[in-house]
Chain A
């Protein structure tokens, strides 16, 4: 289970609500990183052999291995392309994002 965006987060409205010092939670994700991406990785599950190289090398840890097929959390994938470059079966292709 990957962490996910904290949708309930609201920015503090006055100084009493400000987070200072040791205040505040650990692991509070208030924004996604998906807007950074130019190319998105797409896994061809027919070719995937679950060697988990992509899972290990992913800098952001967005590849999930809990399901029968590997999953990608596109909210936090930055599209660096390491997974596609390191895949021994070329099962991951980088596809241009379109808006």
Chain B
């Protein structure tokens, strides 16, 4: 489905949220709700988005929404989809939204159960690469080398930020053989909205993992959110891919990657990195892409 910005509704279904200026998460959610429309029932887990959209007495979602406990997004939307089916509501979309911690760490077993049962829902994971809501703690989606309050950096070089590579959620979810699984970025809104539109028309569990930069946690000026999201894709540290009918498709494969320094060096969380650390990150990236390309070719 081709997306034309002119034809999209001007109606906002997420408005007035108390997110930091320049936050990536509301970009993802408002664009998704533009495609899904007002007949969407949303469940948000404990996350930045959950905390900022429901500051008592303000409610920023203009669709039905529930707040779930941290591990329970997937199980809550499974229940909602069962209820909708029982009542025979056919025009309703069930949407679960969680952050990377609520998906990859705390919410993972419920998500796995959801994918295995193949309940008819859409799950969006907005990935800002740490637990930003509680004050920048590392999650399993934090990239190698990143500073967080629980992966600190010191001057002697014994603590060098995050030491592990990030968990690959796209692989985990596509291994469940769900009908649809995709990665997207808020900096590529057309691609993201096309993926949401595709997910809307499919039955079963649909998973979209969207990269949403965080100016507060990553340490960059608020106006650069889109720029850094784009740089992450251009340097190959994030990718846009789709899994459908057992096949992986790459939506955007840069022929030549930009140097990783252009993305990493300006961010506060990576400013301790040295030349050899960039080499390590480049090596990890090339290995990741070799795997990804092999999967896309098969």
Interfacial residues, chain A to chain B (CB-CB below 8 A):
1-3, 9, 11-12, 19, 24-33, 36-37, 51-52, 55-61, 64-66, 76, 78-82, 84-86
Task: Kindly state the separation between the CA atoms of A97 and B6 in the bound complex, as whole angstroms.
Answer: 31
B57–A60 CB distance below 8 A: no
Query: Closest residue of chain B to A85, judged by CB?
Result: B223
Q: Please name all residues of chain A whose beta carbon is closer than 8 Å to the beta carbon of B60 when the two chains form the complex.
A: 27, 29
5 tightest CB-CB pairs across the interface, nearest first? A81-B223, A27-B62, A80-B21, A80-B22, A78-B21
Query: Closest residue of chain B to A30, judged by CB?
Result: B58
- Complex interface: stretch among B8-16, B70-78, B156-164: B8-16
B226–A26 CB distance below 8 A: no
Range of interface residues on B (Cβ < 8 Å): 35 or more
Q: Please name all residues of chain A whose beta carbon is closer than 8 Å to the beta carbon of B6 when the two chains form the complex.
A: 52, 65
Contact with A along B172-209 (1 / 0, CB 8 A): 00000000000000100100000000000000000000
Q: Please name all residues of chain A whose beta carbon is closer than 8 Å to the beta carbon of B58 when the two chains form the complex.
A: 28-31
B10 CB to closest chain A CB (Å) equals 5
Task: Kindly state the separation between the CA atoms of A52 and B65 in the bound complex, as whole angstroms.
Answer: 28
A81 CB to closest chain B CB (Å) equals 3
Q: A3-B62, A76-B16 in contact; A59/B24 too (CB < 8 A)? A: yes
B223–A28 CB distance below 8 A: no
Q: A26-B64, A33-B16, A56-B189 in contact; A85/B59 too (CB < 8 A)? A: no
B47 CB to closest chain A CB (Å) equals 15
Taking the complex as formed, is B224 at the interface, i.e. its CB lies under 8 A from any CB of chain A? yes
Contact residue among A26, A60, A65 (Cβ-Cβ distance under 8 Å from B26): A60
Contact residue among A3, A11, A55, A65 (Cβ-Cβ distance under 8 Å from B15): A3
Q: Please name all residues of chain A whose beta carbon is closer than 8 Å to the beta carbon of B27 when the two chains form the complex.
A: 57-59
B57–A61 CB distance below 8 A: no
B10–A28 CB distance below 8 A: no
Query: Closest residue of chain B to A81, judged by CB?
Result: B223
Taking the complex as formed, is B19 at the interface, i.e. its CB lies under 8 A from any CB of chain A? yes
For window 27-73 of B, CB contacts with A under 8 Å fall at: 27, 30-31, 56-65
Q: Please name all residues of chain B whose beta carbon is closer than 8 Å to the beta carbon of A51 when the two chains form the complex.
A: 5
B91 CB to closest chain A CB (Å) equals 17
Taking the complex as formed, is B227 at the interface, i.e. its CB lies under 8 A from any CB of chain A? yes
B14–A61 CB distance below 8 A: yes
A22 CB to closest chain B CB (Å) equals 8
Query: Closest residue of chain B to A64, judged by CB?
Result: B10
Q: Please name all residues of chain B whose beta carbon is closer than 8 Å to the beta carbon of A9 when the two chains form the complex.
A: 57
For window 117-160 of B, CB contacts with A under 8 Å fall at: none
Task: Kindly state the separation between the CA atoms of A65 and B22 in the bound complex, as whole angstroms.
Answer: 20
Contact residue among B24, B30, B61 (Cβ-Cβ distance under 8 Å from A61): B30
A59 CB to closest chain B CB (Å) equals 5
Task: Kindly state the separation between the CA atoms of A91 and B19 in the bound complex, as whole angstroms.
Answer: 26
Taking the complex as formed, is B110 at the interface, i.e. its CB lies under 8 A from any CB of chain A? no
Contact residue among B26, B57, B65 (Cβ-Cβ distance under 8 Å from A59): B26
Q: Please name all residues of chain A whose beta carbon is closer than 8 Å to the beta carbon of B64 when the two chains form the complex.
A: 26
A56–B22 CB distance below 8 A: no
Q: A76-B16, A80-B222, A82-B226 in contact; A28/B57 too (CB < 8 A)? A: yes
A59–B15 CB distance below 8 A: no
Q: Please name all residues of chain B whose beta carbon is closer than 8 Å to the beta carbon of A64 when the two chains form the complex.
A: 10
Q: Please name all residues of chain B whose beta carbon is closer than 8 Å to the beta carbon of A33 when the two chains form the complex.
A: 16, 18
Query: Closest residue of chain A to B215, judged by CB?
Result: A80
B273 CB to closest chain A CB (Å) equals 25
